[in-house]
Amino acid sequence: MLRILHNPRYAGAFTFGRHRDIKLPGGKLSRTVLPRDEWISFIPGAHPGYITMEQYNANRARLAASAAAHGADRAAGPPREGPALLQGIIICGTCGQRMTIRYHQRHDQQLPTYLCQRDGISHGRRICQAIPGAGLDQQIGQLLIQTLTPLTIEAALTVTAELEHRAAETDALRAAHVERARYHADLARRRYLAAGPASRLAADTLEADWNTALRALNQAQDTCDQARKNSTGHLTDAQQTRIRQLATDLPALWDDPPTPARERKRITRLLLTHVTVTRTRDTITAHVPLPAGQHTTLTLPIPPTAAQLRKTPAVVVTAIDELLDHHTHAQIAAILNDRGLTSGEGRPFHPLIVGSIRDEYGLRSREQRLRDAGMLTLTQMAGRLGVPARTVKIWYHAGLITGHPCNDKDQCLYPPPGPSPPTRAQGRKLSERRLTSHPAANHA
């Protein structure tokens, strides 16, 4: 059957030289099908064919258009699985070749990317351009819905009138069939009555013909009455309402998740033959030819990359920079979570996330800010007071000196001691000693 579709002899043409045989080194023959302009002889109408040459050419064109991947001459592949709406009909605006599709996964969802890579595959060159397809498909779908809405209303009204007209024609044909059967029955009756008593054998035959004509008349009349009973000759109100709902059902059908992607592609190909897309540095431009010679140009911004989607919001970076003056990473994370802020990936804050953002954006650390304000480390504070570092910690926890936590490990920086620092008084409890600190110690 497939050979019939490909062989022009079944269309009444004589051909010679459709194939070229090449002998391989092993002795086998390799047969190649040549294009029509390279045939030695092609004489259409040389003999009667099973189909016409026009039908043969139409079949070949349909086979080429429906080929999934058979050469570069195919206009567009058949609608297939996958969410890419413009599969097979998107054309590169730079080189004019049809673009292929590559899918990638994001949040358990397949997103298409249209690639112009045919020349790269054939000659090892870089791809011409890559177009992110999610936003483009969404804009094309909205354009089709906006275009189809007035068209479907007009089509619904036209279909209503056409169905009513066809119903009237069908009823007229049934009535004409009844009249024709009645005429034949009346003719058979007159022939029977015209037969004389002497023509007994002819009268029996004419009577049988009359009975057959009467049965045909009864059958035609019953068929016509039953059809009139089931149909009033025009659409009912429910049928007209259902037809008019086509205009409003299309957007719901298009946006319904259970609707297969293949059906959306078929709807798209009813209106679009191709879409030409060009990408610049900042925008994507799509030229969409619509029916009746209309053309629409869509301009879309380049969608953000994955890194840009995961980028920390500027308001979060500013808040962290301000909070580092007085809080540690754990405290900052708690404050940001209380404010309802999230990271670039949409997750709640953690001290490690705050530290990573601080390092990424080059923010000064909490310790560096305290050092710039003149705060002393534990060793420096112990040297100033002339006591061991352990004593400084004891005095800090007892409230005799002031310290500022510089991290989440309970490490502190201390303001310089005032003119009357605490001393190692023998026999006095820590709670009885007087807290004397530098004026700057109570600041911050």
pLDDT for the residue 425: 66
> Does 182 lie in the same domain as 313?
no
pLDDT band at 161 (very low <50, low <70, confident <90, very high): confident
> Does 314 lie in the same domain as 260?
no
> Does 188 lie in the same domain as 111?
yes
Residues 111-136: pLDDT tens digits? Answer: 999 999 877 777 778 888 999 998 99
pLDDT for the residue 76: 58
pLDDT for the residue 234: 62
Of the chain, the percentage scoring pLDDT greater than 70 comes to 85
> Does 372 lie in the same domain as 358?
no
Q: Is residue 74 part of a domain?
A: no
Q: Is residue 409 part of a domain?
A: yes
Q: Is residue 72 part of a domain?
A: no
**What are the percentages of helix, strand and coil residues in the chain, rounded to 5?**
50, 15, 35
Strands (E), 211-317: 275-279, 283-289, 295-301
pLDDT for the residue 438: 42
The answer to whether the beta carbons of residues 443 and 402 sit under 8 Å apart is: no
pLDDT band at 193 (very low <50, low <70, confident <90, very high): confident
Q: Is residue 57 part of a domain?
A: yes
> Does 104 lie in the same domain as 36?
no
pLDDT for the residue 315: 93
Q: Is residue 71 part of a domain?
A: no
| Mean pLDDT, range 184-213, rounded to an integer | 80
pLDDT for the residue 442: 40
> Does 169 lie in the same domain as 232?
yes
Tell which of 287, 303, 319 closes a domain. Answer: 303
Tell which of 282, 303, 324 closes a domain. Answer: 303
| Mean pLDDT, range 351-374, rounded to an integer | 93
pLDDT for the residue 175: 87
| pLDDT beyond 80 at 11 | yes
Give the DSSP letter string of 35-52: PGGG-SEEETTSS--SS-
pLDDT band at 287 (very low <50, low <70, confident <90, very high): very high
Q: Is residue 405 part of a domain?
A: yes
pLDDT for the residue 440: 38
Range of the domain at 350: 307-363
Smallest Cα–Cα separation from 78: which of 90, 91, 64, 92? 64
Highest averaged pLDDT of the listed ranges 100-104, 253-257, 293-297:
100-104
Buried b (16+ CB within 10 A) or exposed e, 405-443: bbbeeeebbbbebbeebbeeeeeeeeeebeeebbeebee
Report the domain count for the chain: 4
Smallest Cα–Cα separation from 308: which of 361, 358, 345, 347? 345
Residues 204-216: pLDDT tens digits? Answer: 788 888 888 888 8
> Does 318 lie in the same domain as 293?
no
| pLDDT beyond 50 at 363 | yes
> Does 316 lie in the same domain as 359?
yes
Whole-angstrom distance, CA of residue 383 vs CA of residue 365: 25
> Does 281 lie in the same domain as 138?
yes
Tell which of 321, 336, 363 closes a domain. Answer: 363
| pLDDT beyond 60 at 70 | no
> Does 163 lie in the same domain as 88?
yes
> Does 184 lie in the same domain as 168?
yes
Q: Is residue 326 part of a domain?
A: yes
Give the DSSP letter string of 405-444: E-STTS-EEBPPP-SS-----TT--GGGS-----GGGG--
Q: Is residue 181 part of a domain?
A: yes
Q: Considering the entire predicted model, what is its pTM?
A: 0.52
| pLDDT beyond 80 at 431 | no
Q: Which residue has the higher pLDDT, 312 or 72?
A: 312
pLDDT for the residue 354: 93
> Does 388 lie in the same domain as 292?
no
